Structure 1
Amino acid sequence: MLSRVDANLAEQINKQFPGLKDIWQLGADGGMRRVAISVFDHWLDDESEWHLMACFEGEERERRNQKMLAHWAALYDLTQVYTLRYRGRWPAKANTVIKRYTDRDGFLIQSRYDKHHPPSQFLIMPDLGCICAAGWDDTNILYFHDKARAAPVLDLASKAGLFVLEGDAA
């Protein structure tokens, strides 16, 4: 399902996204702009709406899962997708390596919602100049330098029934 990329491609990706590891490990912006891709049509700023994030089962959970999974599948079908993984003995000798997803079904299994684990999907899409990181609250963050280049990701989100939220809360 995952294949390690050769050193040249890894170097190109690291040059294209110099803040890659900071985004992955720290949730920083890595010097990139960002927007949220969410099941919600607005930021849940009002405390009275926070209960909407606590959705773990039932029809609403299924509806959210279908939208998110449709978006992940569309991204896989659109372009080559890569991710980061640790390799080596943790923590002293662990290094990050870039890997390419090679199996759509396996990728989608990894992308599925699991109420027992926080979402961990982290996609690097060099052809589109962006990174997409799964969030815990049915909201993913899209990082990019050029929004026009990342537009296909946003279009696919809209087609999946998701919303693009801009602003400081991303």
Structure 2
Amino acid sequence: MMSNISKAELKEIKRNLPDYKKIIDQDDSFIENGKYKKIFISVFDHWLTNEEANEMIFVDENLNELKARRKKFKMVAEELHKATDIYFWKYKRNYRMVLKKPTNYKDVLRKCEFDNLWSQSGRRYSFILPKFCAIYNEEWDWTNIVWYTDEEKILPILKIVEKAGLNILK
């Protein structure tokens, strides 16, 4: 079950992640101003060429590889949940963004649906991580994005990612 967040939690989010809604909305004009930087979290250890992408992204028929990739991203979510408060967002009527906090790890699993990840799924979950001044977004090609404002504060995220067997691409 998800719970509502307190005013103090919302204040912390706004303080550590100014204009976070613009990052979530992928507002290009805001992104270009440079307030936020990004790194990529991937199952791949390098940026793929077009030829490599066709072979390496689409592994949906290879159940063992698919499960291995899912397990890595699931481990990141589990370790982040242990390390800090995670907040999810969704839109309600009139394009109003509502933030919710999972009450336990099962809530995180339900939201992320790791057992349904495949090569073209994406944008299913996004973690707001105010303690780390970061927003962690799932993308479609086995590569996720971490938007951040303070490079020092994301070091725990990078350690979690490496422990899970994923790679950091810049």
| TM-score bin, normalised by smaller chain | 0.7 to 0.9
**Structure 1: unaligned runs, 5 residues or longer:** none
Partners of 1:5 and 1:98 within 8 A in 2: yes
Partners of 2:17 and 2:149 within 8 A in 1: no
Separation of aligned partners in 2, 1:108 and 1:131: 18
Shift of 1:11: 3.2
Residue aligned with 1:59, SS: helix
**Structure 2: unaligned runs, 5 residues or longer:** none
Q: TM-score, normalised by structure 2?
A: 0.85
Aligned equivalent of 1:32? 36
Partners of 2:39 and 2:146 within 8 A in 1: yes
Aligned equivalent of 1:101? 102
1 or 2, which has the higher helix percentage?
2
Shift of 1:148: 1.5
Residue aligned with 1:71, SS: helix
Residue aligned with 1:80, SS: coil
**Where in structure 2 are the equivalents of 1:3-42 lying within 5 Å?**
3-26=3-26, 28=28, 29=31, 31-42=35-46
**Where in structure 2 are the equivalents of 1:1-170 lying within 5 Å?**
1-26=1-26, 28=28, 29=31, 31-44=35-48, 46-51=49-54, 52-57=56-61, 58-87=63-92, 89=93, 93-111=94-112, 112-114=114-116, 115=118, 117-166=121-170
Residues paired across the two proteins, number:
161
Q: TM-score, normalised by structure 1?
A: 0.85
Shift of 1:117: 4.8
Q: Percent of aligned pairs with the same residue? A: 28
Separation of aligned partners in 1, 2:60 and 2:47: 20
